[in-house]
Amino acid sequence: MDINLLQASNTPVPRDLPLDLPLPEWLLVTLLVLSFLLHIIFVKLMVGGSILTLFAEIKGLRNNDYDVFAYEIAKTVTVNKSMAVVLGVAPLLSINTLYTVYFYSANALTGLAWFMIIPLVTIAFLLTYLHKYTWKAMVNYKCLHISIIALAVFIFLIVPTIFLTNVNLMLFPERWAYIKGFMSALILPNVLPRYMEFLGACLTVTGIFIVWYNGRKSYPVGRLYQTFNRNTLKRMGYYVTTFGLGLQIIFGIVVMISLPAKGINFEVLELMVFGGIMLFVALWFSWKALSADSEQKRDNQFWKVMTSILFFILVYGGSRQLYREQALHKHRDLIAAKTEAFERLSKAAREHQVDDGTNVEVDPALGDLAQGTALFKQNCASCHKEKQRLVGPPVQEMAKIYYGNEEGLKNWIKVPGKKRADFPQMPGFPQLSDEELTEITKYVLSVK
Ligand code: HEC
């Protein structure tokens, strides 16, 4: 969007906090990108793992090996969940530090939903523990047991929509004025395709995790399963990954098409295309692994699938960050200008405060009132005009009120009260000396 358009529309341009970053910006950005990627991998294992648990436990009603499989995955979900939460702190803190105004505004606009994350996630976490620890105790109440994880999955599917909505909304300050709560932010173009791509990624990552986790040499497949062997489990993992990659590709394309153009530049496009290619490469290897006719051939694909997925994840993290920078840079310029103007003003105000009046520009032609007029100009004129209301009432009005009451006027200036309902509070001037106050009062009371 053009910078003038940004200014002309009712885009809010808040002032930034005039505080230094705690770390160099590049370091914070690197931390944000890397810690976010680590966090989101575990989130995907948690969401994908619980979906698969649900799915496998239902299949387990017919075939007990699926029930065993479901239990094995359920045990990893709670661990991955803890990792996801702990690793989520770093990106949350760094995005708050780097994009304070944006992140805050998006969160404030969808406040209720944002807060709901805490009870929702708490409930979902407790449900996953309940589900895991009651596996044996509830063998005779399978349907009830399955509904516990079904509810957890349901919540796990809702929570990412809140996060996605907010990190999407923070990119579009020009929409903030029109947002009325969470739902109106959720339907911004791009949120749902991103969500679907995320679900695909949950399956991709969980699938490859299963290939590794259930395929480890030390993993007691023979003891756990009656009919499944290591190869069956790996094949299941590749099945899930292939399916997930397919979803990612389809919805990745929708994301690219629906992505508002303001954040796209050549580098972003380049990275996205490269990421897309990586997904296709991963899909190709994953498909080869899935359709391999021997365990050896299947195993040969593992590192290829793994590497292409890791590459994709890195590229994805980079392109997200670049898109964000590109989408926000014009608005950030506006904020920077506003912040700078504010800092200039407040600096001037600070300097005037300690001013002892020696560098006041005095016009000697005013004779007796010269000093007072100059002091008034310096300290009061930004809010008071002679005949008209500005921030405060006109000087004429003051003169009328304090006619013959020089002391009263001086007291007001030092410690002003709160008088007029439709005016803000006037700041006090305890730093002015008694002589200065006398001069100012002389001037004020001279106005007819
Ligand atoms: C930041 C803005 C601001 C500055 C600077 C400022 N004023 Fe005021 N002034 C106000 C406002 C606002 C009011 C009205 C407050 C109210 O009625 O509650 C006010 C009210 C007054 C009144 C009316 C008091 C009354 O009893 O009704 C006087 C007199 C006055 N200011 C004098 C001064 C003088 C002299 C200075 C400089 C030393 C000064 N002001 C600087 C904002 C300002």
179 and 226 assigned to the same domain: no
Do residues 44 and 154 share a domain? yes
Kindly indicate the confidence band of residue 3, based on its pLDDT and cuts at 50, 70 and 90.
low
Residue 396 CA to ligand 1 centre (angstroms) = 12
Domain extent for 232:
212-354
Does 3 fall in a domain? no
pLDDT of residue 357: 47
Ligand 1 in contact with 403 (CB < 6 A)? Answer: no
Higher pLDDT: 233 or 343? It is: 233
Q: How far is the CA of 229 from the centre of ligand 1 (A)?
A: 85
Comparing 2 with 64, the larger pLDDT belongs to 64
Least confident of 154-158, 194-198, 371-375: 371-375
What is the pLDDT at residue 155?
Answer: 97
Contact 135, 68 (CB under 8 A): no
Same domain, 121 and 68: yes
**Same-domain status, 258 and 320:** yes
Angle at 44 between CA 305 and CA 203, to 5 degrees: 55
| Pair (388, 341) in one structural domain | no
On the question of pLDDT at 75 being above 80, the answer is yes
Q: What is the mean pLDDT of the chain?
A: 91
Instruction: Assess if residue 4 is contained within a domain.
Output: no
pLDDT band for 34, please (50, 70, 90 cuts). very high
Last residue of a domain, one of 354, 377, 403: 354
Which tokens sit at 346? 């407040």
User: Is residue 153 over pLDDT 70?
Assistant: yes
- Sign of the torsion formed by the C-alpha atoms of 405, 409, 411 and 416: positive
- Sort 50 into a burial class: Cβ within 10 Å, 0-12 / 13-18 / 19+: buried
Given a cut of 80, whether residue 360 has pLDDT beyond it is no
Judge whether residue 270 has pLDDT over 60.
Answer: yes
At 173, list the tokens: 């300050």
Would you state the pLDDT for residue 28?
94
pLDDT score recorded for residue 353: 62
Residues 128 and 217 placed together within one structural domain of the fold? no
The amino acid that residue 329 corresponds to is H
Q: pLDDT band for 1, please (50, 70, 90 cuts).
A: very low
Poorest-pLDDT segment among 4-13, 106-115, 225-234, 344-353: 4-13
Structure tokens at 196: 């679907």
Question: Measuring CA to CA, which residue among 199, 191, 252 is closest to residue 48?
Answer: 199
Residue 172 maps to a domain: yes
**In which band, very low, low, confident or very high, does the pLDDT at 407 lie, cut at 50, 70 and 90?**
very high
Question: Is residue 264's pLDDT more than 90?
Answer: no
Residues 219 and 270 in one domain: yes
Residue 4 has pLDDT above 60, yes or no: no
CATH number for 410: 2.60.40.420
Confidence class of residue 65 from pLDDT cuts 50, 70 and 90?
very high
Say if 16 falls within a structural domain: no
Q: Which of 217, 256, 211 is nearest to 236 (CA)?
A: 211
Domain boundary among 295, 320, 354: 354
CB-ligand 1 contact for 18 (6 Å cutoff): no
Does the residue 176 lie in any domain?
A: yes
Positive or negative, the CA dihedral 398, 401, 404, 407 is: negative
Residues 34 and 183 placed together within one structural domain of the fold: yes
Percent of the chain with pLDDT over 90: 73
**Torsion region of 118: left, alpha or beta (phi above 0 gives left; psi -120 to 50 gives alpha):** alpha
The pTM (predicted TM-score) of the whole model is 0.71
Query: In ligand 1, which atom is closest to the CA atom of 444?
Result: 35
State yes or no: pLDDT of 378 exceeds 80: yes
142 alpha carbon to ligand 1 midpoint, in Å? 75
Same domain, yes or no: 29 and 166 = yes
- 428 is written with which tokens? 């006090």
Mean pLDDT of 158-172: 94
Mutate to test the pocket of ligand 1, among 373, 426, 438 (most ligand atoms within 8 A of CB): 426
What is the largest distance, in Å, between two alpha-carbon atoms of the chain?
A: 107
Look at residue 14 in the predicted model and tell me its pLDDT: 83
Look at residues 326, 354, 382 and tell me which one is the last residue of a structural domain: 354
Instruction: Please choose from 380, 397, 434, 442 the residue to mutate so as to test ligand 1's pocket, defined by most ligand atoms within 8 A of CB.
Output: 380
Number of domains in the chain: 3
Q: What integer pLDDT is reported at residue 19 of this predicted model? A: 80
| pLDDT band of 6, cuts 50, 70, 90 | low
Rg of the chain over all Cα atoms, to the nearest angstrom: 32
**Is residue 194 situated within a structural domain?**
no
Closest C-alpha residue for ligand 1 atom 32: 413
Whether pLDDT at 202 is above 80 = yes
Percent above pLDDT 70 for the chain: 96
Is 11 among the domain residues? Answer: no
Residue 334 pLDDT greater than 90, yes or no? no
CA 339 to CA 335: how far, in whole Å? Answer: 6
CB of 396 shorter than 6 A to ligand 1:
no
Assigned domain for 2 exists: no
| Integer CA distances (angstroms), 345 to 123, 206, 340, 341, 360, in order | 49, 55, 9, 6, 18
* Residues 172, 25 within the same domain: yes
| C-alpha span between 180 and 104 (Å, rounded) | 16
- Average pLDDT rounded to a whole number, residues 238-254: 97
Range of 147-156, 267-276, 290-299, 424-433 with top mean pLDDT: 147-156
Give the C-alpha separation, 365 to 125, whole Å.
Answer: 79
Sign of dihedral through CA atoms 391, 397, 398, 401? negative
Q: Are residues 383 and 336 in the same domain?
A: no
Question: Do both 147 and 274 map to the same domain?
Answer: no
In this predicted model, what pLDDT tens digit does every residue of 125-137 receive, in sequence order?
A: 999 999 999 999 9
State the pLDDT confidence band at 358, using cuts at 50, 70 and 90: low
357-366 average pLDDT score: 68
- Given pLDDT bands bounded at 50, 70 and 90, which one contains residue 354? low
Residue 71 pLDDT greater than 60, yes or no: yes
- Angstrom distance (rounded) from CA 315 to CA 196: 19
